[in-house]
Every structure is written in structure tokens, then in C-alpha cells.
Chains A and B, each alone.
Chain A
């Protein structure tokens, strides 16, 4: 357990020190959301109607953008090799990195989402539902991202490949996430499905990603 927490702490420290890019991702998230009104016009009613979808798309893109930093730096400086021979199994290492990545790439987006809600003239109720949906759904996006990053880490020129691989796979998350926001009061089907997808992905991802890491460095 100590080693598990140490890996989470290490990733968090690395990302928040100088040269880390935790805030750049938030900036990207807000900018994607803020660019949309320029494309579809500043109609407040239309914007409020589209806002949950826009926030989901912005979160989706930001999380794809941050994938490369999951394993790339560790692969380049050799610490991934050391982690493979750590006292805890590689699956646990991957799970720790999954948690750290969620804390670094999904939680800041949730914190920044009120800003987008104001820009897109969302009501407080819709914003609350969107944040709840993001809270439930982003672990699944992170899990798919971890698999994509683990699969492409041994490729020198695989930067664009991971997003292309996992984007079609994570469409259910988007469907249930947006449906949860637009669902009428009292119907919980979408949120339950979203939670189920998230739980399955998070439980399954460390094994698939660890297998890919082992195979990739053979």
C-alpha cells in the first residue's frame, strides 16, 4: 500500500512542479468551450441547450490530449523498467497511475467547469447535473486512456494513434454522460449505466494496460 501511495504522490509532484502541464490542460478545456460560441453564434438559448454536450466534448478532447504524459516520460528515462520490477505487481502500478492521472486531468476540469457554465449561459441545475455526470464518467475515459497510452508507449511515432484507438471505444461514456444530463427528473437509467461502464472499465483497465506494457518492452 505504501508503494502504491508513493507512486500516486510521485506522479502528482512531477506534474505540479515546474515543467508540469496540469494547468495547460485546464486552459485547453476552457478554450475549447469558449471557441464554440464563435462557431455557432452567441445565441444564449441555443448555447444553454448545447452546453452539456459542449462541456463533454471539451472534457473528452482535453483527456485525449493529456494521454501522452501517462507513460511516455517514464519510458524515456527508464523508470518504467524499474516500476516493472517494483515490490508491487505492475497491475497495481498501473492502477496507481490511473488514479493519479484522473486526479491530474479530470478533477481540474471539474473545478474549471463553472467558468464554462457561465460562458455558455447554463443554469445552475444543468451545471450540477453535468458535473455529476463528469464525476461518474471521467474514470472510464481515464481507464480507456490508460489502455491507449500503454499500447502505444513502445512506438516512437505513435502520438496520434492512442486517441484514434480509444475514441470509438469510449462512445458509450459520451452517450450515457450526455443522456444523464438531459434525462427528466427521477429517471436514473443513464446514470446507472454510466456508473456501470465506469466501474467495469476501471476494474479491467489495469490488467489490459499492464499486459500491454509487458508485451511492449519485450
Chain B
């Protein structure tokens, strides 16, 4: 009887999430995922640019929505991913959760910045201004600040294991605080149109606009998953390279 057989058998989730086996199973799905993402984007752009009506008030500028709304959706979705990963770090001390949280932060900041950028490009022709201190724009800006603070905190630590737990605490505090921020900012000032895709009475937009919108949201979400997988793999490789160079330095020391 070997020593191995007495150890508890890992369940499918921990086997899948072991950094080594993550590298093995994530490699072959990168290309298919990339192709699916590209196809979804192609379909979405075709619908958005050629096969959807121009708005009777906003004209052709309504097509900015197909970029703006998916980015705004991802700015919040990525924070959700980070919050779940942070729970994984704090509760199960899972090494892959650390990597997932760390590599999601720059992606989330980018999507949030893109949502703000495309929003201000859209706001200029429709509202007549690049920036307005309205509720949703302001809370998105604050979300961007939170992302940037978290990235700065990651970069301040040398020891990545300790950094992961500290950042996880900050991420979870932020996750609890973001609803309060959103509520307070909405209460403070509101000009942006209220939620119109998911409402208690169903969507308020016609299907010709909703179809390309949902395809684009799916495409952007797939893009995030693809980029997240790639940057997680990069982060794992970077940590491996770090520990290899540390071992080499130890061996060459007299």
C-alpha cells in the first residue's frame, strides 16, 4: 500500500483547479474559444452595423450602444468574478483563485474605462456634452477608481500569496460597498435613462435592437473569458519562472 492511496481523493473541482492541470486543460480550448469569439463578434457587428434600424431621435449614433452596453455590463461582471475569486482565496486558500482575481483586475479596469469612453463619445451628439455628473456615469467612474486602487495594491506587494489575501479582503469590502455607492449616487443625481433591458415588465426595446445587443454582449463576455484564460496562464507561467530563477540563484550561491 503506497502512501498516496491513503490521502483523501480530490474531487473533480480541485483536480480541475490545480494549477498544473489547469495549464493542461486550458491549452487546447484557447483556439476554439478564440474562433467562437471571433464568429460571434462577426455576427454581432453585421447585425449592429447593417441589420438594425437607426433610432428615430438619435439617428446612426445609436449603434454606439452595441459597444457601450456590453462594456458597461462587463465592468460589473468582472468585479463579480473578482469577488467570487476572492471568496475562493479567503475560504479555501486556493492558488488558482489568487491567479484568477489578479488577472481579472486589469481586464475589468479596461472594460470600465472603455464603457466610460464610449459613453462620452455617445453623450456628445445626444446630450451635447462629453461628461455629465449623472448617477450611472459617476458610479462607473468610482468603480474605475476602485479597480485602479486594487491594481495598485497588487503591485505594492512582493509576496504574492500574502497580496492575494489582502487584496481579497479589499475586493470583498468593495463588493459590499458598491451597491451602497450606486444607491447613493443615484439618489444624488439622475439624468441617465433608467434600466430598460431588464425591467419587471420585460424589455422596453424592440427585438430588432435587442438581438444585436445580446449578440454583442455574448461576444464581449466570450472575449473576456478568452483574455482571462490567457492572462491566467501568463500569470502562472510568470510565477513558475520566478520560482525557477529563485532556485537557480540559490543553487549558484556558494
B-contacting residues of A (Cβ < 8 Å)?
A: 147, 151-152, 154-155, 157-158, 161, 164-165, 167-169, 171-172, 175-176, 179, 193, 197, 204, 208, 211-212, 215-216, 218
Contacts and interface: CB of A to CB of B under 8 A. Distances in A.
B169 A175 contact: no
A164 B149 contact: yes
Contact of A158 (B148, B150, B156, B187): B156
B195 interface: no
Interface string B122-162: 00000000000000000000100110111011001100001
Nearest to B176: A204
Size range of the interface on B? 20 to 34
A199 to B, nearest CB: 12
A180 to B, nearest CB: 12
Contacts of B149: 161, 164-165, 168
Contacts of B176: 204
B101 to A, nearest CB: 14
Contacts of B170: 147, 151, 165
Among A147, A169, A204, A211, which residue has the most Cβ atoms of chain B within 10 A?
Answer: A169
A14 B190 CA distance: 47
Contacts of A218: 162, 165
A171 B169 contact: no
Contacts of A215: 162, 165-166, 169
Among B162, B165, B177, which residue has the most Cβ atoms of chain A within 10 A?
Answer: B177
Contacts of B169: 147, 151, 208, 211-212, 215
A164 B157 contact: no
Contact of A157 (B90, B142, B153, B156): B156
13 contacts: A151-B170, A164-B148, A164-B152, A165-B152, A165-B153, A165-B170, A168-B142, A168-B145, A168-B149, A172-B183, A172-B185, A216-B162, A216-B166
